[in-house]
Homo-oligomer: A and B are copies of this chain.
């Protein structure tokens, strides 16, 4: 069965952005030729789901081609109906239904590209199967937290922990589920 995977960077104190969507802390670990496994990760996915605010942010900062490049199905989670464009569709239904359907279809893995609201709703329903978290060596002090309060407890299995000479440590976990 296809897996839903997270691949995201946080500060040591658990923020994915400083206030006002400031991602400049990622520059601390930028290094030419080092993508921290992103290309290998995305080679195993063919579907992206992400929140509407994250989609709009990427559209503005990077451009539409980042998602809408015909290579992958993109589901933007939103409360506002909007017609599909190419392989990008705007989904207003329940996440459990969407993921139930997608996971049952054949295909590569599904990548949740944020933001925190969608991630936490997925965690709430125990829909995330793999988490790759890159810990940046900084305390940001405030911002958008990756993990919000009020989720169910979930046990994980460590797959690997890798550290890089920039000080980034990448932790890879699988959700540990009771055998069916």
Contact = CB atoms under 8 A, between A and B. Distances in A.
Interface of A: 12-14, 18, 28, 123, 131, 133, 135, 137-142, 145-147, 149-158, 160-163, 167-169, 171, 173
B139 A153 contact: yes
Contacts of A28: 155
Given A14-B14, A142-B151, A158-B163, A137 B173 contact: yes
A108 to B, nearest CB: 25
A141 B137 contact: no
Nearest to A151: B141
A106 B135 CA distance: 34
Given A14-B14, A158-B168, 13 more contacts: A13-B151, A123-B139, A137-B155, A137-B157, A137-B158, A138-B155, A141-B152, A141-B154, A142-B151, A157-B167, A158-B167, A160-B163, A161-B161
B149 A142 contact: yes
5 contacts: A12-B173, A139-B147, A139-B154, A141-B151, A160-B163
A65 to B, nearest CB: 33
